[in-house]
A and B are shown apart, each in its own frame.
Chain A
Amino acid sequence: MVILMNEDKIVCRCEDITLKELRDMIADGYTRLDEIKRALRLGMGPCQGDICLEIAAREICRMTDKKMEDIKMPSKRPPVAGIKMSELVGDNQNEK
Chain B
Amino acid sequence: MILLINTDLLVIGGGPAGMTAALKAAKKGAEVIIVERYHELGGQLIKQTHRFFGSKNEQAGTRGIDIAQGLTKEIQNMSEIKVLTEATAQGYYEDKIVTVSYQNKFRKIRAKRIIIATGASEKMMLFLNNDLPGVYGAGAIQTLMNLYGILPGKKVIMVGSGNIGLIVSYQLLQAGVEVKAVIEADSEIGGYLVHASKIRRIGVPIYTGYSVKSAIGESFVKGAEIIKLDRNWQMIAGTERFIKADTICLAVGLRPLVSLLIQADCAMAYVPELGGDVPIRDENLKTTNDQIFVAGDAAGIEEATAAMLEGEIAGLKAATEIGYLSKDAITESRRLKKELRKLRNGPISRNIRKGLSKVRGDDNVKKNRYSHLR
Chain A positions within 8 Å of B, measured between CB atoms, are: 1-2, 4, 6, 8-11, 13, 16, 19, 47-48, 50-52, 54-55, 68-73, 75-81, 83-84, 86-88, 90-91, 94-95
**Which A residues are CB-close (under 8 A) to B277?**
73
Restricting to B1-32, which residues have a CB under 8 Å from any CB of A? 1
**Which A residues are CB-close (under 8 A) to B348?**
none
**Which A residues are CB-close (under 8 A) to B121?**
47, 50-51
Beta-carbon contact of A83 and B101 below 8 Å: yes
Beta-carbon contact of B276 and A54 below 8 Å: yes
Could you jot down 20 A-B contacts, CB within 8 Å? A8-B128, A9-B127, A9-B130, A19-B126, A47-B121, A50-B259, A51-B123, A54-B123, A69-B270, A71-B369, A72-B369, A73-B369, A78-B99, A79-B90, A79-B99, A80-B89, A80-B90, A81-B90, A84-B101, A87-B106
Beta-carbon contact of A72 and B214 below 8 Å: no
Interface of B is mostly: mixed
Chain B positions within 8 Å of A, measured between CB atoms, are: 1, 37, 88-93, 99, 101, 104-106, 121, 123-124, 126-131, 214, 218, 255, 257, 259-260, 262-263, 270, 272, 276-277, 367, 369-370, 372-373
**Which B residues are CB-close (under 8 A) to A50?**
121, 255, 257, 259
* Bound-complex Cα distance A11 to B369 (A): 21
Beta-carbon contact of B255 and A9 below 8 Å: no
Q: A77 to chain B: closest CB distance in Å?
A: 7
* Bound-complex Cα distance A38 to B263 (A): 20
Closest residue to B122 on the A side, CB-wise? Answer: A51
Interface of A is mostly: loop
Closest residue to B272 on the A side, CB-wise? Answer: A68
Partner of A87, one of B105, B124, B130, B270: B105
Interface centre among B92, B260, B372 (most CB of A within 10 A): B372
Closest residue to A13 on the B side, CB-wise? Answer: B131
Interface centre among A50, A70, A77 (most CB of B within 10 A): A50
Beta-carbon contact of B91 and A91 below 8 Å: no
Beta-carbon contact of A78 and B93 below 8 Å: yes
Beta-carbon contact of A1 and B218 below 8 Å: yes
Question: If A50-B257, A54-B276, A83-B106 touch, does A68 touch B270 (CB 8 Å cutoff)?
Answer: yes
Q: A57 to chain B: closest CB distance in Å?
A: 8
Beta-carbon contact of A80 and B88 below 8 Å: yes
Q: B227 to chain A: closest CB distance in Å?
A: 12
Beta-carbon contact of A4 and B367 below 8 Å: no
Beta-carbon contact of A90 and B99 below 8 Å: no
**Which A residues are CB-close (under 8 A) to B262?**
75-76
* Bound-complex Cα distance A73 to B369 (A): 6
Q: B102 to chain A: closest CB distance in Å?
A: 9
Q: B93 to chain A: closest CB distance in Å?
A: 7
Partner of B104, one of A16, A76, A86: A86
Partner of A9, one of B92, B105, B128, B259: B128
Kindly list 6 other residue pairs between chains A and B, CB separation below 8 angstroms, not including A9-B127, A10-B131, A68-B369: A6-B128, A10-B126, A51-B124, A52-B124, A81-B88, A81-B101
* Bound-complex Cα distance A84 to B88 (A): 12
Beta-carbon contact of A9 and B372 below 8 Å: no
Beta-carbon contact of A91 and B255 below 8 Å: no
Minimum-distance CB pairs A-B, first 6: A78-B91, A79-B90, A69-B367, A69-B270, A76-B262, A76-B259
